[in-house]
Structure 1
Amino acid sequence: MICYDAVRRSAPVWSCASCFSIFHLPCIRKWARAPASSVSSPASWRCPGCQSVHAVPARDIAYTCFCGRRHDPPNDLFLTPHSCGEPCSKPLATPTPATHDPSTTCPHVCVLQCHPGPCPPCKAFAPSRPCPCGKQTLARRCADRTTPITCGQRCDRLLPCGRHRCENPCHTGPCGDCQLTFPAHCFCGKTTNTMPCGEMASLSADTAGGGVFSCSEACGHGLACGNHACRDACHPGPCGECRLLPGKVAACHCGKTRLRERRASCLDPVPACDKFCDKKLPCGAHRCKVTCHEGRCPPCSARVEQRCRCGSSGQMVECYKASTEEFRCNKPCGRKKSCGRHRCSECCCPLSKPFAQHEGGGTMDPHFCQIPCGKKLRCGQHGCQHLCHSGHCDPCRETIFSDLTCACGRTSVPPPQPCGTPTPSCPHPCIVPQVCGHPASHQCHFGDCPPCVVPVTRECSGGHVMLRNIPCGSKDIRCNQPCGKNRQCGLHACARTCHPSPCDPPPANGDATSSSGSKVSCRQSCGVPRRECKHTCNTPCHPSSPCPDVRCEARVTITCSCGRITSTVPCSAGGSYHNGDSMLDISIIEQLPRPLQPVDSNGKRVPLGQRKLCCDEECAKMERKRVLAEAFDITQPNLDALHFGENSNASDLVSELYRREPKWVLAIEERCKFLVLGKTRGNSSSSIKVHVFCHMTKDKRDAIRLIADRWKLSVQAVGWEPRLFVTIHVTPKSKVPARVLGSKAGVPVSASHPYFDPMVDMDPRLVVAMLDLPREADVSSLVLRFGGECELVWLNDKNALAVFGDPARAATALRRLDYGSAYQGASMFCPSSITQASASGNVWVGAQREGGSVAKTSANPWKMAGASDSDPSGGWTVLGHSPGANVLGQAPGSAWRRGDAAGQVMGTNRWNALASATKSSGPIVGAGQALEKLQPDFEVEDWEESCE
């Protein structure tokens, strides 16, 4: 039974009458019904505490007080829990029927209040009783009735011998036999021994001849015939008749032939027959094969097999030798003894075989190890005194009778203490003076002091820098700088990290120079520039000899003239092949993707690493494309910037989106570029730059996250589908990536302010900024009033954004909030409120302002304006905003209202630069509307061909 709950006052309990353990009543009932508690009787169960058997069925177990007289006792705070408050009245002694003795049984009952646990011993005095020897009468307490009573004087009672008295102190029970010794003779009178008086008294009935014991030798007394002596063992009483009397012998010695004539006296010889004796020999397996004879039969001479003690060997011997002589082989046992460490070295061990039995049939195991253990105990001073054993040795049982003191002697433990007791822990500081002179910062201890931990300024092992806050006891102090000391060669500096001297192992002869006077190599790489190429000598340091003239094995990359075809080959400069290529060079040339260009070597070999590959047809085709692109001023897209390292999935996602909607991808890149490189607006006092994108699909959100990761911008996705949007803001780790989308190689990256686009940016009227919040700022009013109408985006612990779904509610929140301000992202509005591009001109460069008139640019079929299908005029409207004007809370005539009233906001993808050639090519300009020039950041003539 497992129960971890505490037994409280109000819980019904059950108490065992044997061990007095207390259990919850439901738990003990459940235990009594469990099969684990059952015994032989079905209705009985065992107590989980003492395993005593109880015959009460589980359903009859009731909640009673400790004395058992009251069921369901009340919970009284003034009484012992689960007690009835009445006298206990339990009998202090419960005699069993077998040992019931009124003189030794306590007749009193417990007078304490109903209590848990056993009743205390009876303190009443019992009637006086005489001691066993009868000399005194003693009075004792009732609880001591069962203990032996004695007066302590000499017993002096007569012993069973009848001649002496008991000399032991007063005791209960019989005094025992008399142990006084006296000389005694055997029955035959040949031997005299000393025997106790008690044994002699028991044999007094058989002392007619004066003897009291048998010496086991032949009696030797003369028989009644007067001719022979008694051959029986020493015995009491008279000897028997002579066995050779004529009346007792009627047959020969073997008993097979009866005598024909009666013998006259016991001295006449008994005739023998000519038959075999055939008496059973002492071995019990054979019979006597000798002719009828007088006296005992000779030993059994039958050949039998005798096995050794271990049962592994045998030999053929006479039968009488098999029973009298033991045969042992020379085979050692080799089995492990009981300790598990030593092996039995006895030859012909009785227990080396399972079927063998050791002699005597006793319980002694021959493999019981009797070697003393002798291991050092945990005290470290004494050894184990037990025989060799398995497992751990017992604790040391010796006792220390001297004080245990600490190292300084100010703390001690008085004796006696068990051996192995650790020295006391001293709270005082160590008194041993430190070598460095600093005061000790550790406590009293035995042994060497630990290193000093006082922080000091020390020089590193290599002598490079002075390090602060170094523990005074530190020996090996190292910095992260290279060693830089001269090596034993005198040419190289030690390249290992700061370390203690020396940099080189000491030579065997103790000199840094060889026997010839030359310097010893430091085994570093030589590093001397080669004469034939730009690489260095890689052989081990050779200070006393020039660099060997061997081939350079450095791997270099050779290309064709245009750089498209590349291959890695060994440099192969140097070596002994000065006039031609070696076999290794020829095998490498055969494995190249293209043949090498011919060179004018003037009779000298040109190394492979300095030659070029021949161009192929693809190289010529790419050269023609490059010349045409320069002639037509076509800029190729920088697709290499779309590679995101090892994440091929990210590269494929952005590359595919860049081919489908290039201007959308470039718009995201421009906003990231402006956040990192652009300057904060003049009217913005916040140090954080943030931008919120509009609601868009998951693939575009993933593209924004990947592009922002390249600029090391922090990205957050807020909201739920389909109203989920993305925010990005600058962090201290933000930086320009290695390759920028839409920029040419070698051209400095500049950040211009991108224009607002509703397909990319969040409507600024829906965003309320809370920037540089003070510590005491409280935004609970925003959460309580507008909690279900906005998304609260925390950029860090001081800056946040609130994105609403209704511009009116955002304007209300801006007026209500104490720390709210207008949101300014990475995009800005166009200078004019409405701009309309020519259908045949580029949407970004199709209109130019020239004194208020519209100048049409050169028509290009690849620069068609993407007009909305729902716009009958083919034009589109751009939301305008004057610089410095407030975005939220615009007047009805503001740019926001003009865009809404005109109804010219595009419904299709305005980033599509390729429109149908059947569209209207003439400019369509609304009445009273002016056109402004929109200068793009990036322009591509042919997107489809450039992205191939």
Structure 2
Amino acid sequence: MAEAPPVSGSLIEQLTTEKYECMVCCELVRVTAPVWSCQSCYHVFHLNCIKKWARSPASQADGQSGWRCPACQNVSAHVPNTYTCFCGKVKNPEWSRNEIPHSCGEVCRKKQPGQDCPHSCNLLCHPGPCPPCPAFMTKTCECGRTRHTVRCGQAISVHCSSPCENVLNCGQHHCAELCHAGECQPCRIILNQVCYCGSTSRDVLCGTDIGKSDGFGDFGCLKICGKDLKCGNHTCSQVCHPQPCQLCPRLPQLVRCCPCGQTPLSQLLELGSSSRKTCMDPVPSCGKVCGKPLPCGSLDFIHTCEKLCHEGDCGPCSRTSVISCRCSSRTKELPCTSLKSEDATFMCDKRCNKKRLCGRHKCNEICCVDKEHKCPLICGRKLRCGLHRCEEPCHRGNCQTCWQASFDELTCHCGASVIYPPVPCGTRPPECTQTCARIHECDHPVYHSCHSEEKCPPCTFLTQKWCMGKHELRSNIPCHLVDISCGLPCSAMLPCGIHKCQRLCHKGDCFVDEACKQPCTTPRADCGHPCMAPCHPTLPCPLTACKAKVELQCECGRRKEMVICSEASSTYQRIAAISMASKITDMQLGDTVEISKLITKKEVHQARLECDEECSALERKKRLAEAFDISDDSDPFNIRSSGSKFSDSLKDEARKDLKFVSDIEKEMETLVEAVNKGKNSKKSHCFPPMNRDHRRLIHDLAQVYGLESVSYDSEPKRNVVITAVRGRSICPPTTLTVVLEREMQTRPPPPIPHHRHQTDRSPGSSNLQKITKEPIIDYFDVQD
């Protein structure tokens, strides 16, 4: 057997080791996958891949019917749909380890395409081209005069040095070229030909239209003949023709009927009509209505000529015709005189509302007669690659995968990872495990890998950065953060030169273009409170009523009330006026009065409220307690103890874990003392994550201490942050732990009751026991 060419050997090796790639999908061709082999370039493809390629617009041949091979661009008419072996004898061949993949294992028996070789290939079924035939045979030269012995598989032709001398296509001249392959060239001699009617001539190559000349010419010029007929009165009305002209159609022996064709001339002669002698004599008329069909009308009602029997063309029709539009949805009536052959139908203005085959667009054609409604638009959707759009006609369902491919290597940014061609369109660069080698804005260590994105991930290296207001140097700030706020007031001097910026640490200037609107702090001349008008650095303070609130209290200090400063002044002036009036009465009686105290600012600020009945009752109780030496701490059941600040629910929760409550109170006391003694007006403390009950206990205690409490994060890492504010946060006089410890101690037994008629046995009894002898209400009713 002959050896397979190197192409076949390479294909066999790659297919056997599964290293051959399909050019369409760029995947390896497995030994069990159905394949198709091109008979022109012998490339092997997956059968499904070549089917999709053959149906795609990219495979269509320009100006030809069929599809192009992806490798050699050879045009094929039919799309393959069956899996056969390489020689084509067996369908769906089974793979055996001892045979070539996709081969039937039998002798090929294929003949060389395009060669006149009677022998067939004697190799086993194989991919690639068959080897040339090794047999020898005798071949005749192209002109057939000499014979030579050559190898059968050689596709060369044998030539001799003698002229060809074969008869050319004209049949008159001989070929003067040397022995050559193929047909001889047509005769190059130029002849002048005349048309049949003799009015036109042309120059053509010898042998053109040979055999049609019959003595009247060589070709037809498609003009009216125009030759004189034998009658000598009329000319030929036929198109240029090779035969002699026909007889005159008006000769008496050819005309048998009247012009309308309804009455023979023999009957008209019997009725007295004159006989015709020459072709110039008129044809007798029968006098009947012509009745020839006219081109107007419809299939149901045909219009006929209404004139009397006449010669020549029928006259115009006086009727009207009803014609339909192209889609047969509209009709209209037109006079037959204005109707032409192209007006048999017209286009209406109705638009078609049916969906096209794509299911996306409406037909929208005017007077539509289409039945399939194919969509003429291009799909235009973006393919999965995101770079190209679908070029197929608008269709249903998903678009095909992008058939574009790159034959350049696709590498990562640093070039360490490579995807070798062909690379399907839309393939992302390969992942790389090397450290990113790009130039970064900072000089911190790089921890992210090589990537294909244009921007690198932000640098998270922890650094120290100043806040935007240059208040403090913050630590543990990620490198990529630029504008950092410390949360403190800006405190920068404003352009007015009096106030400072109250905004939190911010970026940019402090209200450079806006006027300061903070309240004026200049003390008033009459009351000493600040002006509080909008900042006016160059203008005097306006004369307005003071809106500051002051606290007024009665002489005993029980009643307290917040009033506006201006109202407090007017109240004192009214009291002073009443006092002045009473003093004047005394002056009339001869007494002297000191009025300087009634008009000084100090007395104005010392305006007081009047004591009421409750003040008097409280004063009596106070005197009674002093008389009996009773204090609040001496009564263990006193409801006005410091423990009244704590609610019953708070106490119940605190009793469950006194150790936890004690630790929380210590932290809160330390925080309040630190904010009152330190420089900052606020100070915060963060507790570790804890359960819901402990967090609620901290929130309740924070209200007692005047602290701000906020919960952060989500379960199970939810924690509480408390914040102490100077002037607002304060420690209670007695802690919740102390209150609970007092309540948990054993209460003293109640005092022994004594009857009024019995005398006291113990002369040294306490004042409390003396009080219990009589109801407390009796002591409260004692007058001063």
Report the TM-score when normalising by structure 2: 0.44
Structure number with the higher helix fraction is 2
